[in-house]
Amino acid sequence: MQITQRWKKCITITVILAISLILTFFLIFLGIPLSILNSEKLQRHFVFPTHNLLPENPDYENFHKYNIYGGRNLYVYVNNDSSVYLGVWHLLPHVLADEYLLYQNYDYENSLAHSNFPVVMHFHANGGNRIKFANMYHVLRKFFHVIAFDYRGYGDSTSLRPTEIDIVQDSVNLYKWLRDQTEADIYFWGHSVGATLSAHTLITLQQEKLPVKGLFLEAPFTTIQEQIQLNPFYKFFSWLPWYKYTMVDSLPEHGFVLNTTEYLLSVKCCIMIVHAKDDRNSPFRFSEELYGLAQTCNKSVTLHLLPDHLRCGHYSIRKAPQLPEYIRNHIRFCRDPTRYLHHPHNKFIV
Ligand SMILES: *[C@@H]1O[C@H](CO)[C@@H](O)[C@H](O)[C@H]1NC(C)=O
Ligand SMILES: *[C@@H]1O[C@H](CO)[C@@H](O)[C@H](O)[C@H]1NC(C)=O
Ligand SMILES: *[C@@H]1O[C@H](CO)[C@@H](O)[C@H](O)[C@H]1NC(C)=O
């Protein structure tokens, strides 16, 4: 009698446990993918994570705090009714910054309008505001006036939900503002998702017959679908039969197309790609793939892969001692593509 009751208890507990396990399983492995499938907000959390941006407590006016000399902070309206503005840094080329130290009221506008230096618009990666990438500007200032800006929803730009199409439109309008400020050549530099956004902006400008002199892509990915699957959170679900359908394929439906491959194939100016071999966020095979495709389509494209021992990773390509030389060569090449056809460092197909 007692034994059968014990058995009954045992069976009941086992059944309850099994049911809870099955429920939990479905809640996690069906509920979460289905939520991601249907939620633009959740997808945006991975693509444009504007919460917790680094560095904390940013002070955009206080350049000295970040060891920067010869810069100004400004805000540029990028739509018709002055409701959207972007926070922008204009940093002088190092040579001019030295001059700036000598004068009290340095005329930045005049300097930008009439200098012999080209200008670069820097499109940053998704995990920081424009301060975070200051070390890269340091390298770029050897050659350029640097225009570093925050996308909408980032930094102290207008706090709006960032979408690919809106960021590209804002960037197009920022370019137009910049074009009015100077006659100098304008280049684009894009890092990670910024590489995708810079290429997308560039081809939009091309359609309006507005030229960009050259494009630099730092650690780009091929498509957001390929990139997002490297995220540990995504990997956790990757064995599910419905993983791709729910968590990956649905991104473009919510506006996250971010197909660098596609944009690159429409770019008409010269392209330089630089990627570290020890990049753990975006493997360098992405750049090899982009390079291969661009080459097949007869783009003028250069690929520089940085060796492991430099430990550049995804965020420190600026450390590579060769980088200034690569940039210098690319500027020369953009200015006169025919002359540098057989440059030993580059594999050009023009
Ligand atoms: C401003 O509005 C005009 C007319 O609606 C449009 O053609 C133009 O592209 C707009 N410009 C910007 C910066 O949005
Ligand atoms: C990206 O663009 C390429 C070239 O247009 C296309 O072949 C590919 O299918 C696109 N990838 C995705 C995921 O949309
Ligand atoms: C690229 O150039 C080669 C040689 O000039 C030509 O045969 C090929 O058709 C071109 N490819 C494209 C996609 O234009």
The tens digit of pLDDT for each residue in 200-250 reads 999 999 999 999 999 999 999 999 999 999 999 999 999 999 999 999 999
Q: Ligand 2 center to residue 165 CA distance, Å? A: 17
Query: Is beta strand 214-218 parallel, antiparallel or unpaired with respect to 270-276?
Result: parallel
> Could you tell me the domains of the chain?
2-349 (3.40.50.1820)
The pLDDT value recorded for residue 348 is 41
Name 153's Cβ contacts closer than 8 Å, sequence gap at least 6: 48, 50, 159, 160, 161, 162
The pLDDT value recorded for residue 337 is 78
Contact at 8 Å (CB) between 153 and 85? no
* Longest CA pairwise span in the chain (Å): 100
Name 86's Cβ contacts closer than 8 Å, sequence gap at least 6: 75, 76, 78, 149, 150, 151, 152, 157, 158, 170, 174
> What's the pLDDT band for 87 if we cut at 50, 70, 90?
very high
Name 277's Cβ contacts closer than 8 Å, sequence gap at least 6: 284, 305, 306, 307, 308
CA-nearest residue, atom 6 of ligand 1: 80
Q: Find the helix or strand (DSSP H, E) in which 214 lies.
A: strand 214-218
The pLDDT value recorded for residue 130 is 95
Which pTM value belongs to this model? Answer: 0.92
Q: Ligand 1 center to residue 173 CA distance, Å? A: 10
> In the 8-state DSSP scheme, what is residue 53?
P
Mean pLDDT of 39-45: 92
CA-nearest residue, atom 14 of ligand 3: 297
Mean pLDDT of 125-133: 94
Q: Ligand 3 center to residue 299 CA distance, Å? A: 10
Q: Counting atoms of ligand 3 from 1, which one is nearest the CA of 297?
A: 13
Name 338's Cβ contacts closer than 8 Å, sequence gap at least 6: 350
CA-nearest residue, atom 8 of ligand 1: 80
The pLDDT value recorded for residue 341 is 56
Least confident of 16-20, 49-53, 113-117, 123-127: 49-53
Looking at mean pLDDT, say which of 50-59, 320-329, 338-347 comes out highest.
320-329
Using alpha carbons only, what angle is made at residue 120 by residues 76 and 145, rounded to the nearest 5 degrees? 80
Length of the chain: 350
CA-nearest residue, atom 5 of ligand 1: 80
Question: Got the DSSP string for 96-107?
Answer: HHHHHTT-SS--
Query: Is beta strand 85-91 parallel, antiparallel or unpaired with respect to 71-77?
Result: antiparallel
The pLDDT value recorded for residue 40 is 92
Least confident of 123-132, 295-304, 332-341: 332-341
Contact at 8 Å (CB) between 264 and 291? no
Alpha helices in the chain (DSSP H): 2-26, 32-38, 40-47, 94-100, 108-114, 134-140, 164-181, 193-207, 224-228, 232-237, 243, 260-264, 285-296, 323-335
Q: Which ligand is nearest to the CA of 208?
A: 1
The pLDDT value recorded for residue 346 is 52
80 lines ligand 1 (CB under 6 A): yes
Q: Is residue 345's pLDDT more than 90?
A: no
Using alpha carbons only, what angle is made at residue 350 by residues 336 and 285, rounded to the nearest 5 degrees? 110
Average pLDDT of the chain, as a whole number: 92
The pLDDT value recorded for residue 350 is 30
Q: What whole-number percentage of the chain has pLDDT above 70?
A: 96
Q: Counting atoms of ligand 2 from 1, which one is nearest the CA of 252?
A: 14
297 lines ligand 3 (CB under 6 A): yes
Contact at 8 Å (CB) between 264 and 215? no
Mean pLDDT of 79-88: 93
Q: Ligand 3 center to residue 107 CA distance, Å? A: 48
> What's the pLDDT band for 51 if we cut at 50, 70, 90?
confident
Q: Is residue 311's pLDDT more than 50?
A: yes
Tokens of residue 264, six digits: 């690159």
Q: Is residue 334's pLDDT more than 80?
A: yes
Give the mutation target among 222, 248, 256, 259 for probing the ligand 2 site: most ligand atoms within 8 A of CB. Answer: 259
